[in-house]
Amino acid sequence: MDKDPRVWLDQEPVSYMDPKYKKKNKVIESKMDTQGMSGPTDPNYKPIGKEEYKPAIVQPRRIITPEIAKELKILINQVLDEREGKSGISYFDTEHFKHTVLEEEPEYKPYD
């Protein structure tokens, strides 16, 4: 192939990037967004006035879940009890709290 494949019937090569083939019309560079600018479609519509919106209710998010918070309280109380010399079975000593799937977890009793 010694001929350029872009050549059509022995004319010069065609490329859409070539300035000769670019559109002569100027493109509008700035456009106005008209979405929502039209009025109501019902001709009998009468605006009542400004619509009042209720403020949104925001519920704060916490990193620590309620379950982790409960365990942290138990841990802090155990550490404070151990400082006072109290002893007992630790909530985190899981060997004492083993149970089958059919049974409930044994109840934790704080240090005496």
Residues 33-42: what's their mean pLDDT?
A: 69
Residue 109, C-beta contacts closer than 8 angstroms, at least 6 positions apart: 88, 89
Q: Let me know if residue 97 belongs to a domain.
A: yes
Q: Let me know if residue 20 belongs to a domain.
A: no
pLDDT at 48: 75
Q: What type of residue sits at position 30?
A: S
Share of the chain above pLDDT 90, in %: 23
Structural domains in the chain (count): 1
Identify the weakest region by mean pLDDT among 18-22, 39-43, 62-66. Answer: 18-22
Q: Let me know if residue 11 belongs to a domain.
A: no
CA distance 79 to 91: 11
Q: Is 15 exposed, middle or buried (0-12, 13-18, 19+ CB in 10 A)?
A: exposed
Contact indicator for 91, 78 with CB cutoff of 8 Å: yes
Give the domain range for residue 103: 62-112
For residue 87, name the pLDDT band (cuts at 50, 70, 90).
confident
| Residue 102 tokens, joined | 């059919």
For residue 16, name the pLDDT band (cuts at 50, 70, 90).
low
pLDDT at 17: 64
CA distance 52 to 49: 9
Per-residue pLDDT at 38 exceeds 60: yes
Q: Of 50 and 38, which is predicted with more confidence? A: 50
For residue 24, name the pLDDT band (cuts at 50, 70, 90).
low
Residues 60-83: what's their mean pLDDT?
A: 91
Q: Let me know if residue 111 belongs to a domain.
A: yes
Q: Let me know if residue 7 belongs to a domain.
A: no
